[in-house]
Structure 1
Amino acid sequence: MSHTRFPLRLLTAVAAATLLAACSTLAPDYERPVSVVPDAWAATPAAATATTAGDRSAATAAVPAVDTLGWQEFIADDKLRRVIALALRNNRDLRVSTLNVERLQALYQVQRADLMPSINAGVGQSAQRTPGDLNGTGQSTISRQYSGTVGISAYELDLFGRVRSLKDAALMQYLATEQAQRSAQISLVSQVSVAYMTLAADRERLSLAEQTLQSRRETLRLTQRMHELGVSSALELRQVQSTVDSARADVASYSSVVAQDLNALTVLVGAPVASDLLPTAISSAALTLTQDLSAGLPSDVLLRRPDVQQAEKSLEAANANIGAARAAFFPSISLTASTGYASTDLNNLFKSDQRSWSFVPQLNIPIFSGGRNRANLRVSELDRDIAVAQYEKAIQTAFKEVSDALAQRATLGEQTAAQEALAASTLDAFRLARARYEKGIDDYLSTLDAQRSSYTAQQALISARLAQQVNRVTVYKVLGGGASQESAAAPVMPKG
C-alpha cells in the first residue's frame, strides 16, 4: 500500500463504519404506557346544561383550544399583563429553568459529538541528549526529531449502538428539561396572576374595613351626643365603641396582609412593581377572559400538559439507556490512526520521502467484569420502570387537578351570584336599621346585628369573587394553557 493512498482509504473505511454504526441501537422499542385515568371527566352541574350533543358540539367549537390561547389573550387586564411580562423577564426561578434548558442542550451536543471521529492536527519536536559514555564516542550528542501529523484518536465504531443510545438519552433529557421550562413559565403566569388577584382582594377588604371604621366612628359620635342628651344608654355607647375597636383591628390586620401580598408579588416578579400597576379591587374589572374554557377530552388535555410531556421524555431517556447497557455486553472496536511527516531535519520535514503513518485498531471483548454489565443493565431497566411509574403518576395528578378545577368552576358562578344578592340585602337591612335607630324607634342592638351581617356578607362577596377569578386562572393552567404557543417560543431543538 502506498503512502499517499493509505489516508484516503483509512478515512473511507472510518466513514463507512460510522454510517453502519448509526443504523440501529439495542434499545427496546418505545411504547407509551396505557392510560391510567378515566376516559371522561366527572359529571358536574354545569355540564348538565348541555342537554344535546349538538348543543355541546356547538359550544365546544365556539371556544378556542386552551393550549393555543396565549396568556396575553387570556389575561384581560392590561396592568396585570404588564406585571406578568415583567415577571417573565426577571423571575429568578424561571431564569434558572431557562439556563437548565441551555445546559442540557450543550450536554446533548457533547454526547452527539462522540458519534463522529475527532480529527486533530499537531506539529511537534522531540530532543534528546545522550552522554558520551553511552554512545561509545566519548562525546555527548543531541538528536532531534520533527513531526507534523493529522489523525484520529480512540474513535469507537458504534457497531451496537452504545454511543447512539447515549446520544438519544441525552436528547430526551434535553427535551424533558425544555418541557420543564415551559411548565415553569405557565406556572409563573398562574402564580403572578393569583398573587395579583389576592393583593386586589385584600386591598378591597382593607378599603371596606376603612369605610366601615369611618361609618362606625360617625355612629359613635352620634351615640355620644345622644348619650349626653340622655337619649341613649351607657350600654349602647359601649356597644358602639366595641364596633369601632373591632373595625380598627380589621384595618390594622388587612394593612399587614396587603403589605405581605405586595412582598410576595415582588418576589415573583423579581423586581419592584410600580404603584400605577398595582390593583385596587378584585371587583373593579374582569382580570381574565370571562368565557368558559373548553375542557376537551382527558387524553387530549393531559398529553399536551408540559409536565406530562416532561415525564414522558424522561421515560424515553430511560428507555434509550437500556440500549447503551445492552451494548456493553458486545465487543467494541476503537481506532487510532495518524498520517503526516517526520524528519530529523526541520528543513526536510515536508518532503515527500519523509511521509509517515500509523494505524492502531483495538478490539475489546468483555469476558469477565464481576457482574458489572449485568448490574448496569438491571439498573437501567429499573430506571425505566421508575420512569413509567412517574409518568403514570403525572397523568393521575393532572387528571385530579383538572377534575378539581372543573368541579369548583361548576358552582362558583352560582355562589358568587348568591353572595352578591346576600350582600345587597344585608346592606339594605343595615341602612333601614340605622335609620330606625337614629330616629329612636329601635335600640342599637338591631343596628349592630344588621351592621355585622352586612360587613360579613361584603367580605364574603370579596372572597367569592377572588375564588372565581383564581379558578379561571387555575382552569387555564391545568388545561395546559398556552402550551402550543410556549412550544413555538421555546429554544430550537438541535439537529441530529
Structure 2
Amino acid sequence: MRHRIILGLTLAAFLSSCALYSSPKNVKVQIPSKFEYKINSTNSTLSQNWWENFNDPTLNNVIKTALENNLNYKIALKNIQIAQTYVGQNQSALLPTINATYSSTRNKPSLNQNLSPLTSSNKIYNLHQAGLSASYELDVWHQIQNSVNQAKANVKLSQADANVVKLTLLSNVAQTYFQLSALDLSIENFTKQLESAREILKLNEDQYKSGLINIEPVENAKTQTENIKTVLNNLIKQKQITQNTLAYYLGKYPEDFSIKPLIKGFDSQIYAKLIPPQVPSTVLTQRPDVKEAMYNVLSYAYAQKQALANFFPVFNLTANYGYASTNLSNFIENASNVWSFGLNILAPIFNYKKNTSIYERSKLQYEQAVLNYRNTVINSFNEVDSALASYKKDNEALLSYQKNYQSAKNLYDIYKAQYEAGTVDYITYLNYRINLLTAQYNFINQNLLVREDVISIYNALGMGLSSD
C-alpha cells in the first residue's frame, strides 16, 4: 500500500511537471473566410497611414501632433516600459542572490557563561566579521521561468493595448477634424440662409404695412428666421465644443488652440477610391484588440502554471563564506575563515487549501480570458461588417442627396434668371435660394457621415499601425 501511494505521488508529480514545462496551447477560433458585405473599391493600393489618402495636409499635421502629444497614448507607451521592467525583475530570480556583510563589535563576556571560543578570558575583546552569502532557488518546477514568460506576454499585451489606444486616437482625431470642416461649411451655409430669411421678413413686413398682404406671411417669415437663427447658434456651439475636443486629443488646452480645417471635397468627393480593396478576413487577427486578448490568454496560462507549481517543494541552495577574528591584523588569514553550504527544501504542507484556491482561480481566469478572446474576434467581424454596411447604405443615400442638391441648384438657377429678367419677385427668388442652401446643408452632413464610415472601416480593419 505504501509503495502504491509513493508511486501515485510520483506519477502525479511527473504529469504536473509536464504541464509546467510545456508551452501553452494555442486557442483555436473558427473564423469566416470572408466578410458578409462586399463593396466596390476603385483603388488597388492604399497607404496604411490611411489619413494620407484624403490628401489633406492640415489633417496630416493634426494626426502627427496627436501621436506626439496625446497624453493617453503616452501613458499607454509608458505602460510598455513598465511591463518590461517586470521581465528583468522576474529573470533576476534565475540568478543567485549574493550578499556581502561586515561587522566590527566590542564585546565583554558574561562572568556567568562559558567563554567565547574566540577569546581565552573574560576580558573585553574586539570581534571583526566579514562574509559572503549566496542563495539560489533551483527552478525545478519551472515556476520562475513561467513567471518570466508571463512577464514577456504582458509586455506584448501592453504593446497591443498601446496600439488599441493609437487606432482609437487616429479615428477620433480624423472624425473630429472632419466634423469641424463640416461645421464651418454649415455655419457659412446657415449664415447665408439667415441673411435671405431676414430679407424675406423685411419685404413681407413692408408689404403688410402697405396693405398688400395679410399678417400670415409675416408670421411665417418670422418663424423661419428664428428657426434658422436657432440652428445657427447650435452650430456655433457645436463647433466650439468640437474644437475643444480636438484640442484635448492633441494634448493642448482649448485656450491655446485654434485651427482652420480645409473644407474641400464636401461637394465632390468620390469615396470609392478611399475604400480598401477586398481583404481576407484573416487580416482581423492582426487587429491590436485581438492581439491584446490573445496575449491576455497567454499571460493567464503562464499564471496558471505558476499556481500549479505552488503544490511542490521549493529547493534552495545556500552558501556562506567569511572571516571572523578578534585581531584586525590577521583578519583575512586562512585560520580565520568560516564557511557553510547546504540545501534547503521548503515543502508546502499546511497551505493546501490556499494553494488550491489560487490554482482554481487561475484556471477560471484563464477560461475567462479564452472567452474574452473569442468574444473579441466575433466583435471584430461585427465591427467590420457593420462599418461596411453603414458605408454602403450611407453612400447610396449620399448619391440621392447629391441629386437633390443638383435639382435644387437647377431650380435656383432658373428662378435667379427669371428674377434678373423681372418675371418673378425677389421673395420667390430668395425662397429658392434658401431651398438650395438647405439641400446643400443636407448634402454636407451626409458627406460627413460617409467620411466617418470610411474612417470606421480603416479602424475596424486595424489600419494605421505601419509606423510602429
TM-score normalised by L of structure 1: 0.80
AA in 2 matched with 1:270:
G
AA in 2 matched with 1:175:
K
Contact 2:323 2:336 in 1 (8 A): yes
AA in 2 matched with 1:83:
V
SS of equivalent residue, structure 2 residue 106: strand
Q: Residues 140-186 of structure 1: CA distance to partner in whole angstroms, max 9, x if unpaired? A: 74333222323313x21001101111111121112101110111112
Partner of 1:457: 439
Select which of 229, 232, 236 maps to 1:255: 236
Select which of 75, 80, 85 maps to 2:64: 85
Q: Residues 90-118 of structure 1: CA distance to partner in whole angstroms, max 9, x if unpaired? A: 22211221221111111222112111112
How far apart in 2 are the matches of 1:260 and 1:363? 66
Question: Kindly tell me: are residues 435 and 302 of structure 1, through their superposed partners in 2, closer, same or farther at Cα, counting changes over 3 Å?
Answer: same
How far apart in 2 are the matches of 1:275 and 1:391? 40
Partner of 2:217: 236
Contact 2:63 2:174 in 1 (8 A): yes
Q: CA deviation at 1:392?
A: 0.4
Question: Kindly tell me: are residues 223 and 436 of structure 1, through their superposed partners in 2, closer, same or farther at Cα, counting changes over 3 Å?
Answer: farther
Partner of 2:14: none
SS of equivalent residue, structure 1 residue 337: strand
How far apart in 2 are the matches of 1:468 and 1:462? 10
How far apart in 2 are the matches of 1:196 and 1:289? 21
Partner of 2:103: 124
Contact 1:147 1:343 in 2 (8 A): yes
How far apart in 1 are the matches of 2:182 and 2:352? 66
Question: Kindly tell me: are residues 281 and 232 of structure 1, through their superposed partners in 2, closer, same or farther at Cα, counting changes over 3 Å?
Answer: farther
Q: 1:45-124 counterparts in 2 under 5 A?
A: 46=39, 62-64=44-46, 69-71=48-50, 73-74=52-53, 76-124=55-103
Contact 1:28 1:320 in 2 (8 A): no
Contact 1:288 1:473 in 2 (8 A): no
Q: CA deviation at 1:84?
A: 1.9
Partner of 1:179: 160
Higher mean displacement: 216-225 or 318-327:
216-225
AA in 2 matched with 1:305:
R
Q: Residues 5-25 of structure 1: CA distance to partner in whole angstroms, max 9, x if unpaired? A: xxxxxxxxxxxxxxxxxx987
Q: CA deviation at 1:207?
A: 1.2
1:41 aligns with 2:35: yes
Q: CA deviation at 1:418?
A: 2.4
AA in 1 matched with 2:228:
A
AA in 2 matched with 1:469:
R
Q: Residues 331-362 of structure 1: CA distance to partner in whole angstroms, max 9, x if unpaired? A: 22112212232222222122233232221320
Q: CA deviation at 1:449?
A: 7.0
Partner of 1:10: none
Partner of 1:267: 248
SS of equivalent residue, structure 2 residue 311: coil
Select which of 193, 201, 207 maps to 2:174: 193
Q: CA deviation at 1:221?
A: 3.5
Q: CA deviation at 1:233?
A: 4.1
How far apart in 1 are the matches of 2:101 and 2:53? 60
SS of equivalent residue, structure 2 residue 321: strand
SS of equivalent residue, structure 2 residue 196: helix
Q: CA deviation at 1:320?
A: 1.2
Q: CA deviation at 1:83?
A: 1.7
How far apart in 1 are the matches of 2:431 and 2:423? 16
Partner of 1:315: 297
Q: CA deviation at 1:291?
A: 2.8
How far apart in 2 are the matches of 1:294 and 1:307? 22
Partner of 1:20: none
Select which of 260, 264, 280 maps to 1:297: 280
1:371 aligns with 2:321: no
Select which of 25, 31, 37 maps to 1:31: 25
How far apart in 2 are the matches of 1:322 and 1:244? 69
Q: Residues 301-355 of structure 1: CA distance to partner in whole angstroms, max 9, x if unpaired? A: 2110111101100101111122212222222211221223222222212223323
How far apart in 1 are the matches of 2:144 and 2:366? 18
Contact 1:412 1:468 in 2 (8 A): yes
How far apart in 2 are the matches of 1:116 and 1:477? 44
Q: Residues 419-453 of structure 1: CA distance to partner in whole angstroms, max 9, x if unpaired? A: 12211212333454577689575896x77875664
SS of equivalent residue, structure 2 residue 94: coil
Question: Kindly tell me: are residues 430 and 240 of structure 1, through their superposed partners in 2, closer, same or farther at Cα, counting changes over 3 Å?
Answer: farther
How far apart in 2 are the matches of 1:462 and 1:168? 53
AA in 1 matched with 2:319:
A
Partner of 2:454: 472
Q: CA deviation at 1:417?
A: 2.7
How far apart in 1 are the matches of 2:112 and 2:355? 54
Partner of 2:13: none
Partner of 2:385: 403
Q: CA deviation at 1:75?
A: 5.3
Select which of 314, 325, 335 maps to 1:332: 314
AA in 1 matched with 2:137:
E
AA in 2 matched with 1:167:
V
How far apart in 1 are the matches of 2:201 and 2:149? 76
RMSD: 3.2
AA in 2 matched with 1:260:
I
SS of equivalent residue, structure 2 residue 235: helix
Question: Kindly tell me: are residues 377 and 291 of structure 1, through their superposed partners in 2, closer, same or farther at Cα, counting changes over 3 Å?
Answer: same
Partner of 1:385: 367
SS of equivalent residue, structure 2 residue 329: helix
Q: CA deviation at 1:192?
A: 0.9
Contact 2:274 2:454 in 1 (8 A): no
AA in 1 matched with 2:32:
P
- Percent of pairs with identical residues: 23
Question: Kindly tell me: are residues 71 and 424 of structure 1, through their superposed partners in 2, closer, same or farther at Cα, counting changes over 3 Å?
Answer: closer
SS of equivalent residue, structure 2 residue 261: coil
Number of equivalences: 445
1:412 aligns with 2:406: no
Question: Kindly tell me: are residues 295 and 187 of structure 1, through their superposed partners in 2, closer, same or farther at Cα, counting changes over 3 Å?
Answer: farther
Question: Kindly tell me: are residues 290 and 143 of structure 1, through their superposed partners in 2, closer, same or farther at Cα, counting changes over 3 Å?
Answer: farther
Contact 1:121 1:148 in 2 (8 A): yes
Q: Residues 354-403 of structure 1: CA distance to partner in whole angstroms, max 9, x if unpaired? A: 23222132012334434233332222221111110010011011111111
Long gaps (5+) in structure 1: 1-22, 50-58, 487-496
